[in-house]
Amino acid sequence: MLTMNNVTVTFQDGQERLTALDNISFEATPGHLTFIVGESGSGKSTLLSAAAGLLNPDSGEVLVDGTPVSDKIRLDKIGMIFQQANLIGSLNVRDQLLVTDHIRGIKPRRERADELLATVGLDGLGGRRMQQLSGGQRQRVGIARALMGDPALILADEPTAALDSERSHEIVALLRNLVTERGIAGAFVTHDRGLISDADAVVEVRDGQVTALERALA
């Protein structure tokens, strides 16, 4: 579970101090995909960065499974999916996943990588190069890579922004099934409100404040 309690984040902008998140509280619970929507500059990506421990809040606390977020927690318990897949052009599909084992200092798990590639619909494509994949396939590689460490929490920052509507819904449906089946907490930032029918819960970030909008599903 991700828990953010009374989190405030500010940034210096010239002579002014701007508030990106204003004393917000937010939760993402196991087995559920929570969408975070809002206009550009509303603070939704800042919320995700704070959740991942990529920036330190001015005040408040961020907990993953009850433990304050840190570099170790991010490595061991959080899977990140980005707007661009951020894949390494010189590596094949399987090696994109295995590099995360190298980062953790453990023996590369080839079978684990192939299992996850099959899970996201890329069975048999482990030897492919990035230029041989479509945009949607590259995002699926990014999702599989995020799952390599058996995370408790998946954070996705606009992962469908560069995809057409059909591929976007495919990626969201895949993520929702994965968090449900694996009992992972998922938080998904998007500006596309057309995707929220696939969410378990939806919150809106506006002027640094968070408001629950609706339950997308019973």
Q: What is the pLDDT of residues 151-160, one digit of tens each?
A: 999 999 998 8
Of all residues in the chain, the percent with pLDDT exceeding 70 is: 97
DSSP notation for the chain = -EEEEEEEEEEEETTEEEEEEEEEEEEE-BT-EEEEE--TTSSHHHHHHHHTTSS--SEEEEEETTEE--HHHHHHHEEEE-SS----TTSBHHHHHHHHHHHHTS---HHHHHHHHHHTT-TT-TT-BGGGS-HHHHHHHHHHHHHTT--SEEEEESTTTTS-HHHHHHHHHHHHHHHHHHT-EEEEEES-GGGGGG-SEEEEEETTEEEEEE-S--
Residue 215: the pLDDT is 47
* pLDDT exceeds cutoff 60 at 206: yes
Q: Average of pLDDT values for 139-145? A: 94
Contacts for 8 with CB less than 8 Å, ≥ 6 apart: 19, 21, 22, 23, 24, 57, 58, 59, 60
What is 2-86+152-214's CATH superfamily?
P-loop containing nucleotide triphosphate hydrolases (3.40.50.300)
Residue 116: the pLDDT is 96
Residue 176: the pLDDT is 92
Q: Average of pLDDT values for 39-67? A: 93
* pLDDT exceeds cutoff 90 at 184: yes
Residue 218: the pLDDT is 38
Q: What is the pLDDT of residues 76-92, one digit of tens each?
A: 999 999 887 788 889 99
> What's this model's pTM, rounded to 2 decimal places?
0.90
Domain extents in the chain: 2-86+152-214
